[in-house]
Chain A
Amino acid sequence: MKSNFSRRKYIIGGFIALLVCIYIFRLFDLQVADNQYKENALSNAFLRRVIYPARGLIYDRNGRLLVFNQPAYDVMLIPKDVGKNLDTVALCEALNLTPQQLREKWAEMKDPRRNPGYSAYTPQKLISHLSQEDYGRLQEKLYLFPGFFVQKRTIREYNSPAAANILGNIREVNTKDIERDDYYRAGDYTGDLGVEKSYEKDLRGRKGVEILMKDALGRIKGKYEGGIHDEAPESGKNLTLSIDMDLQEYGERLMAGKIGAIVAIEPSTGEVLCLVTSPNYDPSMLIGKDRGKNYAALQRDPQKPLFDRAIQGAYPPGSTFKPTQGLIFLQEGVVTTATQYPCYHGYVNGLRVGCHGHASPIAIKPALQTSCNAYFCWGFKNMIDKKGTTSSKQFDKWKNYMVEMGYGYKLGLDLPGESRGFIPNSEFYSSSFRGANWSANSIISVSIGQGEVLATPLQIANLCATIANRGYYITPHVVKEIKGGKLDSIYSVRHRPEINRSYYDVVAEGMRMAVTGGTCRTANLPDIAVAGKTGTAQNPHGRDHSAFMGFAPYDNPRIAVCVYVENAGFGAAYGVPIGSLIIEKYLKGEISPARKGIEERMLNSNTIISSGVKKH
């Protein structure tokens, strides 16, 4: 009998051997073939607590602190670790919310459209910007709510209501930001507008991380391997702006009740001294809980305060364009300083461009002094209709000079959103005239800064700086220094248009004459030699735009300014007084008593009411 069944030991032995083989195969599958469990284990046992660095501070050129940080507290949670029996009543009490609000916040957190990065295994933000008191109350009771923790972050605080267009602000990253740059995680902040955006990588610093171990109940069991894998955060770099905040604030006050811009540049360095746009807004509107609401309101505002007119507004430059024309004519040999053109109250040559009363015929310097339209029309005609070549070739030559002087393309200012203005080329006209022949007369208004040409106040100020420098400019920039970093080298390169320095002397002299005895006499300060050029730009919206560009002191310029006030009439009406006040304020620090009247008038005037524009 025994021998009959002893074979069965092989079946029993074989059975267990087979089973062990199956188990080893399963082990291989779990441990070696499949990586999913390793990832699960990491999210299980480790809490990667991000330590946010302090964002860089922002100072003005005189060391005045403009933007700093304040703490803000976000309520975070890891959904997986939140127990089934969460005491929602106590939570509502601790957070100062109604149950309804809590439900909404919760739904919002889990909504895949509003929070695409939702995962039950990673920290999710329930509530942002908890107040200091709410934070204190929650912190005491946090132990009651497993899976919850408070993430400390910093948000911005501003020392002045001015310069929102330069400073920008910070906002929470959106899905696109996260896709573009894997540094960001949902709930992080990033710069929006202004230097906060353009210098984001310098300002944000580098996040640190602390790797903590947590047990099955979500309790922190200390640092992983004593913290050797932790990374300390690296603070953001501080910025020093080239902006003179006092001048900026003064400029904004002068522009109150007006629409337009002021740009002031230190010619020798290209540093922007002030960049005023009006109307503007208080940057502290865009921090904290109400950011979204306020931002939407600013977007809806018909006067478009978010639109930075100083760099985004493309305007007809009007007579501020004339110096560029003079420079081109001289360089091209179309005119010499002695060349005179007739002006019979305007340019009359088959068509008529009006002008005002002055001596005739007239040479270049007095033409600049009196802003004679006829002179520049004749010059333009003689250049474009030159014998032995075509209008197209001549016009493209002209266009190249304009581009060299900083028109038609973005200058490269270190702020986002700069407009390129508009300088047409010959193709543009060939297609506008549908192949028909065109000559100088067809486009004569270009010569006096009307018609198709458009420029930003920044480009006009940059031209003024080039003239002040007698022939070169440095790309304007608003950041003077990055502490512990290096400014982009493009902000130290001199750009020289292909125009002789002596011709710049001629144009500068003409502009000086305009101040001493021409269109800009309001700018004729007793102890500062100012040179300037007015502009009165016709436009289809309403009254003429009032423009001015000028620099001072004449021999050793320290400031070049452009003022552009929409629908405010003659250049001499607003442009010149505001420009001269900016110059005086910057160079003297205060306004002389004799000129207090002008200051008073500018501070209190409102051109919006009388602009002739019904809707902006």
Chain B
Amino acid sequence: MFRNLDWITIFLYLLLVGAGIISIYAASYDFDNAAILDFKEFSGKQFLWAGLGLLLGGVVLLLDYRLYEAYAYPIYGFVVFILLLTIFIAPDIKGSRSWIVIGGGLLSLQPAEFGKFATALALAKLFDSYNFNLNQKLTNYFRALMIIFIPIILILLQKETGSALVYVSLIFVLYREGMSGLVLFSVLCAVVYFVVAVKFADPLILGIPMGQFTVLLIICLIFCCMLLFYCKDMIIARNVIIGYAAAAALVAGLAAFGIDINGDIFFLTILAAGIVYTVIAMLKYKIGKFLVTIGFAVMSVIFLFSVNYVFDNILQPHQRQRIKVTLGIVEDLRGAGYNVNQSKIAIGSGGLAGKGFLNGTQTKLKYVPEQHTDFIFCTIGEEEGFVGASLVLIAFLALILRVIHVAERQRTPFGRVYGYCVVSYLIFHLSINVGMVLGLCPVIGIPLPLFSYGGSSLWGFTILLFILLRIDCGRKERRD
């Protein structure tokens, strides 16, 4: 069986876990230091977790791969039960009830971490069911979304927003399995619209904020592009584009003579004109794609105008603050921005080659909060510099691409879907965690997989990966 194991994945796994332990040692190293393997220290404990994790991985590998298929739903059910139980029995730690304490504080586990592989198994099992096709019936979507949203809701109830958001990443799996790319595109557009609209409140262009102006411009461009590339109707697209160009020239000309037209009115007018024209023109043709295009434009406009309302009236003040700090609208170095600013300082001070192992001052002197857990990437950035940090990112990229490769070579939907679940989790964790440390994303407290200190997270990802490896072995066993 070991012949069939994907050793490249195992090698990358061990590399990242090993680098993680060393970084945790560096991050928690005090000047009256302790040995790297002292089990009272974070690094020593992480070493212990890693050892037990490998043991766990070994057990996972020894079990029959068919077991995971057979027991996917019971495992899922069990984990959901534990997640539900956690809400009631977990003690309140910093406002969240997500930790189960076993043996009088000897061991704390976070069930949300184990929900990942259980959900992945259940989703894989669903897609593996006979003749299952996501696009066949709407109920199929509903079933898949239910599997995803049950843990999300339970984890939200534990007040672990970060961990809950991770499951949203399973949208990648749905995409891979046939969900319309338009959904992914819509999500991307929504994020871009939101950021642009919130961030650029001034200066005013044509009497409306620059952000709003830009988004309206993008909506018009997307409308044209969709007519052109999605509907593939050259005549309608040409007429709309020429019309828009003429309208834009007219407005620019008027502006040159000092006559400003309100931007909202202008964009909404030309969009409406384009839509009316398209509706009239499309009556002669097949309707579907035109409707999508028009719907997209209309939804975009509605979304844009509701952003400000949502931002000002629905979001909590601290959420607004975090978003503003992340987008660089306000600078708050003592409050929400402290972590990110200190983490940028720590990473920025590393330079090209870093300060050298154990020579980082920012992380050693505890300027960066949570430096051995969520902000572990700082330590690498400071001590190993641009070179080391880039290598770690490349190692993660290699792992993700390798897992995609492994997922794609599965012969059953079960293996493939499970593999893509692993990919989705890894992508989400990596992009949010590193993005947060680099000051590109809002601060969402999720760990860097395999790297950050914490037994639950490490074990969760170990089980997740090793089940995939076991299934991958099974593929070859089947062939043999």
Contact = CB atoms under 8 A, between A and B. Distances in A.
Interface of A: 1, 4-6, 8-9, 11-13, 15-17, 19-20, 22-24, 26-28, 30-32, 34, 36-38, 40-42, 44-46, 84, 213-217, 221-222
Interface string B394-425: 10110011001001100000000000100100
Q: List the 10 closest A-B pairs by CB distance, nearest first.
A: A37-B348, A41-B349, A45-B361, A215-B365, A31-B386, A30-B348, A20-B397, A216-B367, A40-B345, A216-B366
A28 B393 CA distance: 13
A36 B366 contact: no
Nearest to B408: A9
Given A5-B176, A45-B367, A221-B31, 16 more contacts: A11-B175, A12-B175, A16-B401, A16-B431, A17-B401, A22-B440, A23-B438, A27-B386, A31-B385, A32-B351, A40-B348, A41-B362, A42-B349, A45-B365, A216-B342, A222-B31
Contact of B440 (A5, A11, A26): A26
Nearest to B389: A27
A501 to B, nearest CB: 73
Nearest to A26: B438
B367 A30 contact: no
Interface in B439-465: 440
A27 B438 contact: yes
B262 interface: no
Given A20-B394, A213-B361, A215-B366, A30 B344 contact: yes
Interface string B372-404: 000000000100011001100110110011001
Interface of B: 31, 133, 172, 175-178, 181, 334, 342, 344-352, 361-362, 365-367, 381, 385-386, 389-390, 393-394, 396-397, 400-401, 404, 407-408, 420, 423, 427, 430-431, 434-435, 438, 440
A34 B345 CA distance: 11
Contacts of A27: 347, 381, 386, 389-390, 393, 438
B110 to A, nearest CB: 25
Given A27-B438, A31-B381, A46-B361, A5 B178 contact: yes
6 contacts: A11-B175, A12-B176, A13-B401, A16-B400, A16-B401, A27-B393
B345 A44 contact: yes
A221 B364 CA distance: 10
B404 A12 contact: yes
Contact of B386 (A5, A16, A22, A28): A28
A23 B435 contact: yes
Contacts of B361: 41, 44-46, 213
A31 B177 contact: no
B176 A216 contact: no
Contact of A4 (B172, B178, B396, B431): B178
Task: Give the dominant DSSP class at B's interface.
Answer: helix
A591 to B, nearest CB: 71
A213 B385 CA distance: 21
B397 A12 contact: no
A41 B397 contact: no
B386 A38 contact: no
B334 A41 contact: no
A221 B361 CA distance: 11
B351 A38 contact: yes
Contact of B431 (A19, A41, A84): A19
Contacts of A213: 361, 365
A488 B334 CA distance: 55
B134 to A, nearest CB: 9
A12 to B, nearest CB: 6
Nearest to A28: B386
Contacts of A44: 342, 345, 361-362, 365, 367
A96 B430 CA distance: 55
Contacts of B346: 41
Given A13-B401, A24-B390, A216-B365, A36 B177 contact: no
Nearest to A24: B390
Contacts of B365: 44-45, 213-216, 221
Nearest to B175: A8
Contacts of A37: 344-345, 347-349
A1 B140 CA distance: 16
Contacts of A41: 345-346, 348-349, 361-362
Contacts of A19: 427, 430-431
B348 A13 contact: no
A12 B172 contact: yes
A31 B352 contact: yes
A84 B393 contact: no
Contacts of B181: 8, 11
Contact of B348 (A12, A16, A38, A214): A38
A20 B172 CA distance: 17
Contacts of B177: 5
Contacts of A28: 386
B438 A12 contact: no
Contacts of A36: 348
Nearest to A19: B431
Contacts of B435: 23
Contacts of A24: 390, 393-394
A85 to B, nearest CB: 12
A31 B438 contact: no
Contacts of B393: 20, 23-24, 27
A32 B386 contact: yes
A585 to B, nearest CB: 65
A36 B344 CA distance: 10
A229 to B, nearest CB: 13
A13 B352 contact: no
Of A27, A214, A215, most B-chain CB atoms within 10 Å: A27
B449 to A, nearest CB: 13
A223 to B, nearest CB: 10
A216 B177 CA distance: 49
